[in-house]
Amino acid sequence: MSRIIFSSPSTLPQLYSTSRRIVKMSVAQTINPGVSFRSMVVKPPSHPTYDMKGVIKLALAEDAGDRGDVTCLATIPFDMEVEAHFLAKEDGIVAGISLAEMIFHEVDPSLKVEWSQKDGDYVQKGLQFGKVSGQAHNIVVAERVVLNFMQRMSGIATLTKTMADAARPACILETRKTAPGLRLVDKWAVLIGGGRNHRMGLFDMVMIKDNHISIAGGIINAIKSVDQYLEQQNLQMEVEVETRTLEEVDEVLRYTSQTKSSLTRIMLDNMVIPLPNGDVDVSMLKDAVEMINGRFETEASGNVTLETVHKIGQTGVTYISSGALTHSVKALDISLKIDTELALQVGRRTKRA
């Protein structure tokens, strides 16, 4: 269950031009009570300790340093109000709209944010898809932090959407290869892009990988140890084991046919073989899926790319996991402009709008 934690205001530099109560929250309950963010069509995944409010505050504080925005302080009167527009500079799936609202609200609750698109929608280059109005100083202070999150999340969502469509009927998953401190943000973007979340961390699923197997003295010893641990701790959760050969798959199947086990999924690691011509051989993966024959969920891992994911998805695997969804993300180019006419002129000149 998500926890809502209230904390007293921290001692921070002058980040914004209005004082306010600081509310610290975690997981999906990162929204100030009483404030409705209609844009939240895809909720963030659940996490027992993740502090989204803290992540937002840290991002704002690292930008402000110990002086605040000296350029804004020098050039923008506190009482000046403006309207700024979000502009897509390339085609893709937009994500981070709900998080942008949280950031604007953290900086200045009086800012008014409106959108013509929602998280998960397709945007074309040159489209104005949202606007924020209010005190100019606070809009500019929030601008870069909002865009950093939105651009990263939109890049993840765009790649996820492409991979998820190509992988069908298999489901595409990300991994734990996320940016440090942005685990929930990155995985939220995957959901927005139409993917599914793998385990959130080390706590919510047992995943027996190669190093565990080596230390335990073999794949069956590792599975036995997990079964014993879960029974002793009275825990029920998903259990996945990594297999690297058809012999290991057979070993797991023979053991679980004779012994009650908590195992729910078998990872088929690096059973997609790259070929010299750039294609891949998925015959080993297909053989493994046929051996398992629906007794367990299956997950293909390794050599998963835009070029290979469709072929992998046709083998019958349940899931395909790809670390590249989050560890090699290309940000989607988005800007926030007050003078949108000039921004569009420059964009057309540079072929970016």
Cβ contact 175:209 at 8 Å: no
Q: Which of 3, 38, 112, 209 is catalytic?
A: 209
Cβ contact 267:301 at 8 Å: yes
Cβ contact 95:130 at 8 Å: no
Catalytic site includes residue 351: no
Catalytic site includes residue 177: yes
Q: Which of 24, 144, 244, 286 is catalytic?
A: 144
Catalytic site includes residue 352: no
Q: Alpha carbon 21 to chain centroid distance?
A: 29
Catalytic site includes residue 269: yes
Catalytic site includes residue 144: yes
> DSSP 3-state assignment of 340?
helix
Q: Distance (Å, rounded) from C-alpha 304 to C-alpha 272?
A: 8
Q: Distance (Å, rounded) from C-alpha 270 to C-alpha 273?
A: 7
- For the chain, the maximum distance between any two Cα atoms, rounded to a whole number of angstroms, is 75
Q: Which of 90, 242, 269, 299 is catalytic?
A: 269
Q: Which of 24, 125, 176, 177 is catalytic?
A: 177
What letters, b where the CB count within 10 A reaches 16 and e where it falls short, cover 167-206? beebbbbbbbebeeebbbbbbbbbbbbbbebbbbeeeeeb
Q: Which residues are catalytic?
A: 144, 177, 209, 240, 269
